[in-house]
Amino acid sequence: MNVAIDSMTCPKANVLNTDHLEMCVRTAVEKSWASVAPCWPLQHFIAANPLAGFEHLSFDQALQQGQAYFCQKDLPTAMHAVNRESIKWLKAFFDVGQSTLAMPLRHQGLLPCMMQLMCYDKYLNRHKDQIEFWLQKDHKNPESLIVCMLLYLGVAETEQKAFLTLMLATLPGWSAYVKYQTDWADKQISVVTPSEYFAFRLLITCLLWPEAKQLLDWHQQALKNNEATKTLTQLKDNERAHQKKLLEKLAMAESTTKPDLLPEVQMVFCIDVRSEPFRRAIESQGNYETFGFAGFFGVSIAISNTILGKSHASCPVLLKPSHQVTDKPNGVRDNFTKDQQRSKSLKLIYQSLNYTFSTPFSLAEIMGVAYGAWMGLKSLMPRMFAYTKARICAHRYQHHELVTDCADIPLEQQIELASNALKLMGLTERFSPLVVLCAHASSTQNNAFASALDCGACGGNPGAPNARVLTTILNHKEVRNALNRQDICIPDSTLFVAAEHNTTTDAVDIFSQSIPETWQSVLSSLEQNLLKAKERNARWRMSQIKTNVITNNPIQHTILRSEDWAQVRPEWGLARNASMIIGPRSLTKGSNLEGRSFLHSYDWSTDFEGKHLHTIMTAPMIVAQWINAQYLFSTLDNVAFGSGSKITHNVVGKLGVMQGNASDLMHGLPLQSVFQDDKSPFHQPVRLTVVIYAPKERIVTIIEQEALLNQLISNAWIHIICFDSSTHQPWQLNRGFIWQKID
């Protein structure tokens, strides 16, 4: 080993050469990182396409590449040790709140911290001289370190990109998390750069496996051996069947002329596929009109909670929050604040006794009785526990409401938000007396992936605050006056109200505290009908879950699933999503789309320049594609792209899960989210089919303007079908952007 180091010409010697080499490395680093897709932490789990780095390839090529990079049965033997040590240090470094004694020196960043600690690691410093050699290097400049290490490993300049990509692909979960840290996370907290990560990974590789160049041969072998044709055929069959059925349903739609009767209530739901069956259920109860709109209601806000002292961004990850709002109790008989404060101090006491020396022993004995009773109740009598809890909460928090204070948003911006939102959802005339903006959230217990079931448009959070902000704005007198000048006349008899749809229990909570008398009768009949819709939808949803829970009451069944701490399938989430429909509700009204479609309202006839369609296709449609791809790949290979069975999950660093003792960070959805049982998938793997009700030319213009859309469609990552507005005929856009008539 010694000889190897001595004989190696260190690039530092040649100054001219150094710059050139570092440049090359910088390019290689950048290119190899492009093949990795980010993975969001569990606090706000966002669906992402795990093969997003291969979207520049056609779908079948990407599938093959993905298989060669991520689905290999085995690794070269020596690589296991490299991964083991990488995992050990990465989870220590990125931990955001599990350990009480945190890793020292973390604030200095990954590489400086590791360089100082690694020399004491007995698994790494077996060759003392070697580690000293690397530590002499300047760790302020990771690129020069990478140059040295690649030379040491004997990786030629032409192979650099391939080799670095393999360094990422052999530990895909952690690479994805680092990608999140470097590209998406709040920059103030971020402590790692792409080059630093490579330097870290290569350092361990140099110390444990100097012959790591063999990885390149291993990968060549993998490229030869793979076949993805079977998966692809299956996928295409599924898609064709789904499209055929969908188009048949759309063809049967009623004529697009609007009914004369003004709807009693208009409700705006999230585009989420879970809204579709619920919209159908509520529409069937009376003269209600529904709309589909991104669940953050066009307002990108950061919400701070005064009681818990937390703050989070509530908008799609593609946007940055533009406004700050606070969530505070409205002060009417507020048990909630007190309860939250009380529970906070109890938790604080518990934690201070548990996470120190000597006191945990008596804590275990003090708490033993209580925990025993609690465990018995939750496990042995889950029904009783669920109902009692639901009843107590309903009673105790009856009068509680969090009020979202949006006074900080300037009036002009309020007006802009309001007019954009209304135009985008196609609600600019014929306002009902009551317009409900209905956000959604989920309620599950003991579920590491809880945020995956919340509103994706709100960054994996409940959407109620956004709905509240927009209703406050729309009820604002001055805003309405200004809208009036833009030809959007909201009559005084119209009131906007916020609500939240609980997708786990199907309950809809209308935030109706300050509603004047005039609207009470409409509201109470709406509430009645929402209860009926809840039962209807719950019955349908529960029929989809294979179970041995015996109950005839679907509502009780959903509550049980929501409150049971042993439950691994509280709800199906967005499983089985397959298509997105951009068009008026009249196109889909009355047809049972089986909760498989994202529905976005759009009226081409009022969108003269195609501006709104442009927004829809570049924002909600992209998000739908991310979600679709996440479910697709998690189902195709739940180990490589999903996170495996929940029963052996181990939450690491409060940011992700591992399998068992230690493993790669398991990004992607758990087995139970997409499979009915170990063998049979519930989600049907298909690529997203987008049906747009608009003139063909307009769609193509937008696609040609946007490079991202261009890439997605020409590489067949999504299918675009135009439902021609004049002839009512479906046309499919092929990969060369030519419309083909579908029979």
Residues numbered 605-664 forming contacts with other proteins, rule: CB under 8 A: 638-640, 644-654, 657-664
407 binds other proteins per the rule CB under 8 A: no
222 binds other proteins per the rule CB under 8 A: no
> Residues 6 or more apart from 679 whose CB is under 8 A from it?
none
CB of 611 to other proteins, least distance (A): 40
- Residue list 428-467, contact with other proteins (CB under 8 A): 445-448, 450
Fill in the DSSP letter of residue 102: P
- Contact predicate 147/198, CB 8 Å: no
Coil/strand/helix, residue 43: helix
Cα 343 to Cα 336: distance, rounded to the nearest angstrom: 10
> Residues 6 or more apart from 421 whose CB is under 8 A from it?
293, 297, 298, 299, 470
- Residue list 85-104, contact with other proteins (CB under 8 A): 87-88, 91-92, 95, 97-104
- Residue list 561-600, contact with other proteins (CB under 8 A): 564-569
Question: φ and ψ at 170, to 5 degrees?
Answer: -80, -10
- Residue list 504-543, contact with other proteins (CB under 8 A): none
- Burial label for 532, CB within 10 Å (0-12, 13-18, 19+), is middle
Question: Using alpha carbons only, how large is the chain's radius of gyration in Å?
Answer: 28
Q: Number of residues in contact with other proteins, rule: CB under 8 A? A: 114
Of 5, 24, 71, 151, the one binding other proteins (CB under 8 A) is 71
End-to-end CA distance of the chain: 70
From residue 228 to residue 267, the character string flagging contacts with other proteins as x (rule: CB under 8 A) and all else as - is: ----------------------------------------
CB of 556 to other proteins, least distance (A): 16
- Residue list 294-313, contact with other proteins (CB under 8 A): 308, 310
361 binds other proteins per the rule CB under 8 A: yes
Of 240, 244, 546, 735, the one binding other proteins (CB under 8 A) is 546
Select from 71-79, 322-330, 456-464, 550-558 the region that touches other proteins (CB under 8 A): 71-79
DSSP string, 435-476: EEEEEEE---SS-TTGGGGSBGGGTSB--HHHHHHHHHHHH-
Which residue's CB is nearer to other proteins, number 144 or number 170? 170
736 binds other proteins per the rule CB under 8 A: no
- Contact predicate 208/78, CB 8 Å: yes
Written as one letter, the residue type at 424 is L
From residue 129 to residue 158, the character string flagging contacts with other proteins as x (rule: CB under 8 A) and all else as - is: ------------------------------
Cα 369 to Cα 381: distance, rounded to the nearest angstrom: 17
Written as one letter, the residue type at 209 is W
CB of 95 to other proteins, least distance (A): 4
Select from 15-23, 164-172, 271-279, 329-337 the region that touches other proteins (CB under 8 A): 164-172
343 binds other proteins per the rule CB under 8 A: no
CB of 540 to other proteins, least distance (A): 20
Cα 373 to Cα 362: distance, rounded to the nearest angstrom: 18
84 binds other proteins per the rule CB under 8 A: yes
- Contact predicate 656/636, CB 8 Å: no
Of 356, 518, 605, 606, the one binding other proteins (CB under 8 A) is 356
Cα 368 to Cα 377: distance, rounded to the nearest angstrom: 14
From residue 366 to residue 385, the character string flagging contacts with other proteins as x (rule: CB under 8 A) and all else as - is: xxxx-xx-xxx--xx-x---
Of 187, 395, 477, 679, the one binding other proteins (CB under 8 A) is 679
Please give the structure tokens belonging to residue 494.
């119209």
